[in-house]
Structure 1
Amino acid sequence: MPTTTSLIAFASLAFAVVLTPGPNMIYMISRAITQGRLAGLIAFSGVAVGFVIFLLCAAFGLTAIVFAVPYAYDVLRLAGAAYIGWLAFEALRPGGKSPFQVRSLPPARPRRLFLTGLVTSLLNPKMAIFYLALLPNFIDPERNVLTQSLVLGSVHIAISITINSMIACAAGSIATFLMARPKWLLAQRWIMGTMLGGLALRMALDGRK
């Protein structure tokens, strides 16, 4: 089992990552706004299954490989920092968009909503980087790596399901509120961009733990 300190630190990081914009959130919110709360929840269920697949891949081999090859760890860590830094730039640059800005999508059946969410999740580099470059930082190689990976990954998935379900249910109201108040929309972008920039900087400067 991970230590209590590692669990709390990882849960805090997972919470911050879940709240940052990305393909998964944008797709879920777009569906919730254009097709209703249920569509948003179905779309996110496909995303969540993608998280489970990433977790199982990491737990049953990828994490061990990262620990066995320090240079691979550093490459992944810096790649993760660069990618999250790019997300921060996209949020902060002039003309950047918020995931709560309304996007018109044609209606889709539940099966397509789920499968598109799953594919979006599996092709999302943010999640691959999260499990490859961030998760290993909170694993003690002296303890059972498989158990720690499964527990920490489950914490991330639980936080993600909770937060995203709440966002899907309130997406329409949030989008209406923000679109009617451009300054709040700008503030939301800057808060997310600043969080991402800080995370990217910390990842780039932190050595292997």
Structure 2
Amino acid sequence: MLTVEQGMAFLGAAMLITLSPGPDNLMVLSLGVARGRRHGMAFGLGCAMGCLSHTLLAAVGVSALLAASVTAFTALKIVGGLYLIWLGSQALRSRGSAPQAAAQGPQATARALFVKGLLVNAINPKVVLFFLAFLPQFIVPANGAIAWQTLQLGLLFTLQAALLFGLLGYFSGYAGQWLMTTPRRAMWLDRIAGTIFVGLGLRLISSR
């Protein structure tokens, strides 16, 4: 089982990353503003559930690497750290973005939007890379059961994403107005997210 310290550290970082402006949460905002909170919540919950597939891939991949070679696991952490730093630099250079209206096109049902969010997230290779980069730094090899630790972390990420995306969809009208009224707010959220990514990347590379 995860230790309390391990779980709390991961949960704090995961929530900050989930809340930072990105394609998923901006789409949740967009759908909520344009089509109503029910549709925004459905798409957001689908995106969150899509994380389960990446959790399974990460659990198998990380465990296999660690079992095969400590050097391979270290290489994964270094590559993952560099990837997180690159994501952070992109966010730090961003000028912010606001949700765009998504009312164009045929009206999809809430169920269809849930499935769309699920598939969009599940088949996104960038999310696979993110999970392989993010989860290992919160794994403690000395505690054993690497796959089980990875599964717990991934499930924790999925649950917090479902909660936050659900709330974001529910309050999408207010959140969308808050971002669109002052675009600089989105820019500063990007700055915060970028700093988090860079810090996590450096921590991952330097950890042993």
Residue of structure 1 in register with 2:148 after alignment: 147
Q: CA deviation digits over 1:16-55, x for unaligned, max 9?
A: 2222333322322222222111111111222122111222
Contact in 2 for aligned 1:67/1:136 (Cα 8 Å): no
Residue of structure 2 in register with 1:161 after alignment: 162
Once structures 1 and 2 are overlaid, which stretch shifts more, 62-71 or 153-162? 62-71
Judged with a 3 Å threshold, the aligned counterparts in structure 2 of structure 1 residues 84 and 25 are, in CA distance, closer, same or farther, namely farther
Residue of structure 1 in register with 2:96 after alignment: 97
Q: CA deviation digits over 1:172-203, x for unaligned, max 9?
A: 21221222224434333322333333333333
Within 5 Å, which residues of 2 pair with 1:34-45? 34-45=34-45
Contact in 2 for aligned 1:84/1:199 (Cα 8 Å): yes
Within 5 Å, which residues of 2 pair with 1:37-116? 37-59=37-59, 61-68=60-67, 69-93=69-93, 96-98=95-97, 100-106=98-104, 107-116=107-116
Alignment coverage as a number of residue pairs: 204
Q: CA deviation digits over 1:47-78, x for unaligned, max 9?
A: 1221112223333x222113133444344334
Question: What displacement does 1:121 show?
Answer: 0.8
Is there any run of 5+ residues in structure 1 with no aligned partner, and where?
none
Contact in 1 for aligned 2:26/2:99 (Cα 8 Å): no
Once structures 1 and 2 are overlaid, which stretch shifts more, 48-57 or 187-196? 187-196
TM-score by length of structure 1 reads 0.81
Q: CA deviation digits over 1:77-113, x for unaligned, max 9?
A: 344334433433333336x332x43243433233431
Judged with a 3 Å threshold, the aligned counterparts in structure 2 of structure 1 residues 83 and 24 are, in CA distance, closer, same or farther, namely farther
Residue of structure 2 in register with 1:175 after alignment: 176
Q: Which runs of 4+ in 1 moved over 6 A?
A: none
Q: Taking every aligned residue pair, what percent have the same amino acid on both sides?
A: 31
Once structures 1 and 2 are overlaid, which stretch shifts more, 83-92 or 42-51? 83-92
The one-letter code of the counterpart of 2:33 is I
The one-letter code of the counterpart of 1:28 is V
Judged with a 3 Å threshold, the aligned counterparts in structure 2 of structure 1 residues 18 and 9 are, in CA distance, closer, same or farther, namely same
Let me know the Cα RMSD of the aligned residues: 2.6
Judged with a 3 Å threshold, the aligned counterparts in structure 2 of structure 1 residues 8 and 117 are, in CA distance, closer, same or farther, namely same
Residue 32 of structure 2 is aligned to residue 32 of structure 1: yes
CA distance in 2, matches of 1:188, 1:116: 26
CA distance in 1, matches of 2:2, 2:166: 27
Partner of 1:6, secondary structure, is: helix
The one-letter code of the counterpart of 1:173 is Y
Contact in 2 for aligned 1:45/1:114 (Cα 8 Å): yes
Partner of 1:102, secondary structure, is: coil
Judged with a 3 Å threshold, the aligned counterparts in structure 2 of structure 1 residues 36 and 138 are, in CA distance, closer, same or farther, namely same
Residue of structure 1 in register with 2:133 after alignment: 133
CA distance in 2, matches of 1:196, 1:41: 26
Contact in 1 for aligned 2:83/2:133 (Cα 8 Å): no
